[in-house]
Amino acid sequence: MKQTIALVDDDRNILTSVSMALGAEGFEVRTFTDGASALQGLTSNPVNLAVLDIKMPRMDGMELLKKLRTNSNMPIIFLTSKDDEIDELLGLKMGADDYIKKPFSQRLLLERIRTVLRRHATVETANIGSDQADATLIRGDLKLDSSRHLCTWKHKAVELTVTEFLIVKALAARPGHVKSRDQLMDAAYGEHIYVDDRTIDSHIKRLRRKFKSIDDEFGQIETLYGIGYRYRDELP
C-alpha cells in the first residue's frame, strides 16, 4: 500500500515540484495551501506524514502543529526559512519530528521523509513476532510498549511523538548510564542524519514538560552538563 504524504505550503511552485518528486518515488500526495484547510483535511483523513511550512495565511504552521498534536502523533516535518532558528526550536518544542531549511534539495527532503517514516514504522511494529514482555520496557513507574507506541507514567498515558518515544526508550534502556547528544541523535534520527545539539535539548525539555504535566515531581531525566543525559537509576 502506498504511503500518503501531505504537503502544506502557500508556495504553489514548491507544492508542484515536491509533489512530482514524491509521486515519482511512489508516494501518494495531498496538498494544501493554508493551515486551516490542512487542519480540516488531515483531521478527517489522516496521512502517514505531513510536511508543513511555518509561514502561511489563515493559520501558520505552528498553530496547525499545535492543533494536530491535540489528538494525533502523526509524524511532522517543518519547512523553515534560512534565518528562522527560533521557529525551528519552537517547532521541535511543540512536537515536530524534524525540520529542513529553505531552500532545500528535493533529494534531501525525500531522505528526511524516509528517515522519519522508518522511525515511525520501527516504533509501530517493534518486536512483532516476539513475546509481549520483550516489546515492553518497564522502569519503575515508567512503562514503554513499543508494539503499540504507548508510554505511561504511574499508569497515566503520556502522549509522545515518535522522536520523543525513541529518546525516552534509549535513556530508559540503561538507567544510570549517560547518553551523549550524539548517541540520542542516532537513536532518534538514525546515524546518517545530522541535527543540531539544541534539537535534542528541545526534545528533552518537551519530554520533561509532558511528564511533569502528570507528575510535578518527575525528575527521572537528568542533565549532565557538557556530557549528555541519563535516566535516573532507581537502584540503591
- Specify whether 114 is located in the same domain as 9: yes
Domain-ending residue, one of 81, 98, 125 = 125
For 221, the grid coordinates are 531525566
> Helix (H) and strand (E) counts for the chain?
9, 11
- Specify whether 109 is located in the same domain as 163: no
What per-residue confidence (pLDDT) applies to 81? 72
58: left (phi over 0), alpha (psi -120 to 50) or beta: left
Give dist(CA 36, CA 232) in Å, integer.
Answer: 42
Q: Is residue 236 part of a domain?
A: no
Rounded to two decimals, what is the model's pTM? 0.58
Question: What CATH number is associated with residue 10?
Answer: 3.40.50.2300
- Specify whether 206 is located in the same domain as 121: no
Question: What CATH number is associated with residue 140?
Answer: 1.10.10.10
Q: What is the domain extent for residue 26?
A: 4-125
Domain-ending residue, one of 125, 143, 177 = 125
- Specify whether 12 is located in the same domain as 99: yes
φ, ψ dihedrals at 203, nearest 5°:
-65, -40
Q: What is the pLDDT of residues 183-217, one digit of tens each?
A: 888 887 765 555 666 778 888 998 999 999 999 99
Q: What is the pLDDT of residues 157-174, one digit of tens each?
A: 888 887 888 899 999 998
Provide the number of structural domains found in the chain: 2
